[in-house]
Amino acid sequence: MSKNWDYSKIRQWTWREHPLGAVIPEAATADHYETGGWRSLRPVLDREKCIDCFFCFIYCPDSSVMVQEDKMTGFKLQHCKGCGICAHECPKEAITMINEAEAKGLETCAADNKDGA
Ligand code: SF4
Ligand code: SF4
Protein backbone atom coordinates (compact mmCIF):
# COMPACT_ATOMS: atom_id res chain seq x y z
CA MET A 1 0.00 0.00 0.00
CA SER A 2 1.42 3.39 -0.89
CA LYS A 3 -0.43 6.34 0.53
CA ASN A 4 0.83 9.55 1.99
CA TRP A 5 -0.55 9.79 5.47
CA ASP A 6 -1.16 13.07 7.20
CA TYR A 7 -1.23 12.05 10.82
CA SER A 8 -0.06 15.44 12.15
CA LYS A 9 -3.40 15.83 13.95
CA ILE A 10 -3.70 12.20 15.03
CA ARG A 11 -4.12 13.16 18.68
CA GLN A 12 -7.42 14.85 17.77
CA TRP A 13 -8.67 11.87 15.72
CA THR A 14 -11.71 9.96 16.89
CA TRP A 15 -12.15 6.27 16.07
CA ARG A 16 -13.76 7.33 12.75
CA GLU A 17 -10.53 8.79 11.38
CA HIS A 18 -8.37 5.77 12.21
CA PRO A 19 -7.98 3.38 9.26
CA LEU A 20 -9.52 -0.05 9.75
CA GLY A 21 -7.25 -2.97 10.42
CA ALA A 22 -4.61 -1.28 12.59
CA VAL A 23 -2.64 0.10 9.65
CA ILE A 24 0.76 1.46 10.65
CA PRO A 25 1.31 4.35 8.20
CA GLU A 26 5.10 4.61 8.57
CA ALA A 27 7.84 3.03 10.58
CA ALA A 28 8.07 4.18 14.20
CA THR A 29 4.61 5.73 14.27
CA ALA A 30 3.09 3.27 16.75
CA ASP A 31 3.72 5.80 19.51
CA HIS A 32 1.04 8.02 17.92
CA TYR A 33 -1.66 5.38 18.41
CA GLU A 34 -3.29 5.64 21.79
CA THR A 35 -4.24 2.00 22.08
CA GLY A 36 -4.70 1.98 25.84
CA GLY A 37 -8.42 2.52 25.29
CA TRP A 38 -8.78 -1.24 24.70
CA ARG A 39 -7.87 -1.92 28.33
CA SER A 40 -10.36 -3.49 30.73
CA LEU A 41 -7.83 -3.94 33.54
CA ARG A 42 -5.32 -1.37 34.76
CA PRO A 43 -1.97 -2.08 36.45
CA VAL A 44 -1.36 -0.20 39.68
CA LEU A 45 2.08 -0.03 41.28
CA ASP A 46 2.72 -0.35 45.00
CA ARG A 47 5.99 1.58 45.30
CA GLU A 48 6.55 0.25 48.83
CA LYS A 49 6.89 -3.32 47.53
CA CYS A 50 8.85 -2.53 44.34
CA ILE A 51 12.58 -3.40 44.32
CA ASP A 52 13.23 -1.92 40.84
CA CYS A 53 14.24 -5.22 39.30
CA PHE A 54 12.64 -4.13 35.97
CA PHE A 55 11.16 -7.55 35.18
CA CYS A 56 7.94 -5.70 34.36
CA PHE A 57 9.82 -3.39 31.98
CA ILE A 58 11.47 -6.32 30.21
CA TYR A 59 8.31 -8.40 29.85
CA CYS A 60 5.81 -5.67 28.93
CA PRO A 61 4.89 -6.26 25.25
CA ASP A 62 3.82 -2.63 24.79
CA SER A 63 6.78 -0.73 26.29
CA SER A 64 4.31 0.73 28.76
CA VAL A 65 6.39 0.47 31.92
CA MET A 66 8.11 3.76 32.71
CA VAL A 67 11.60 3.93 34.19
CA GLN A 68 13.34 7.09 35.30
CA GLU A 69 16.68 7.39 37.02
CA ASP A 70 16.89 3.65 37.80
CA LYS A 71 13.38 3.57 39.29
CA MET A 72 10.23 1.96 38.01
CA THR A 73 7.83 4.91 38.07
CA GLY A 74 4.53 3.62 36.72
CA PHE A 75 2.74 2.90 33.47
CA LYS A 76 2.09 4.70 30.18
CA LEU A 77 -1.63 4.19 30.15
CA GLN A 78 -1.96 5.56 26.58
CA HIS A 79 -0.45 2.27 25.37
CA CYS A 80 -0.95 -0.26 28.17
CA LYS A 81 -3.45 -2.96 27.06
CA GLY A 82 -3.97 -4.31 30.56
CA CYS A 83 -2.64 -7.76 29.69
CA GLY A 84 -1.34 -8.27 33.24
CA ILE A 85 2.01 -9.77 32.22
CA CYS A 86 3.84 -7.21 34.38
CA ALA A 87 1.79 -8.21 37.44
CA HIS A 88 2.32 -11.91 36.70
CA GLU A 89 6.10 -11.53 36.36
CA CYS A 90 6.67 -9.18 39.29
CA PRO A 91 8.55 -11.15 41.98
CA LYS A 92 7.30 -8.87 44.77
CA GLU A 93 3.60 -8.71 43.86
CA ALA A 94 4.03 -4.96 43.61
CA ILE A 95 1.58 -4.65 40.70
CA THR A 96 -2.15 -5.14 41.09
CA MET A 97 -4.56 -5.29 38.16
CA ILE A 98 -7.75 -3.37 38.90
CA ASN A 99 -10.95 -2.97 36.95
CA GLU A 100 -10.54 -0.11 34.45
CA ALA A 101 -14.10 1.15 34.82
CA GLU A 102 -13.68 1.34 38.59
CA ALA A 103 -10.33 3.10 38.17
CA LYS A 104 -11.97 5.68 35.88
CA GLY A 105 -14.73 6.12 38.46
CA LEU A 106 -12.12 6.79 41.14
CA GLU A 107 -10.46 9.39 38.86
CA THR A 108 -13.80 11.12 38.34
CA CYS A 109 -14.48 11.17 42.08
CA ALA A 110 -11.00 12.60 42.74
CA ALA A 111 -11.55 15.29 40.08
CA ASP A 112 -14.99 16.11 41.51
CA ASN A 113 -13.54 16.40 45.01
CA LYS A 114 -10.78 18.67 43.70
CA ASP A 115 -13.26 20.89 41.85
CA GLY A 116 -15.50 21.09 44.89
CA ALA A 117 -12.66 21.98 47.27
S1 SF4 B 1 -0.58 -4.65 31.79
FE2 SF4 B 1 0.53 -5.47 30.01
S3 SF4 B 1 0.70 -3.73 28.60
FE4 SF4 B 1 0.18 -2.89 30.61
S5 SF4 B 1 2.13 -2.37 31.54
FE6 SF4 B 1 1.60 -4.45 32.22
S7 SF4 B 1 2.61 -5.80 30.76
FE8 SF4 B 1 2.56 -3.76 29.86
S1 SF4 C 1 8.73 -6.32 38.44
FE2 SF4 C 1 7.80 -5.61 40.36
S3 SF4 C 1 9.51 -5.26 41.73
FE4 SF4 C 1 10.35 -5.40 39.67
S5 SF4 C 1 10.42 -3.25 38.93
FE6 SF4 C 1 8.47 -4.10 38.27
S7 SF4 C 1 7.04 -3.54 39.90
FE8 SF4 C 1 9.08 -3.31 40.74
Evaluate: CB of 60 within 6 angstroms of ligand 1. yes
Evaluate: CB of 56 within 6 angstroms of ligand 2. yes
Note the pLDDT tens digit of each residue in 13-71. Answer: 887 877 776 666 677 666 777 778 889 999 999 999 999 999 999 999 988 999 999 99
Domain range list for the chain: 28-114
In angstroms, rounded to a whole number, what is the distance separating the alpha carbons of residues 104 and 91? 27
In angstroms, rounded to a whole number, what is the distance separating the alpha carbons of residues 38 and 55? 23
CA torsion angle for 58, 31, 12, 22 (degrees, to 10)? -90
Length of the chain equals 117
Reported confidence tier of residue 4, pLDDT bands at 50, 70, 90: low
Cα of 95 from ligand 2 centre, angstroms: 7
Q: Which architecture characterizes domain 28-114 according to CATH?
A: 2-Layer Sandwich (3.30)
Prediction pTM value: 0.76
CA triple 79-31-107, angle to 5 deg: 35
Closest CA to 89 of 116, 65, 58: 58
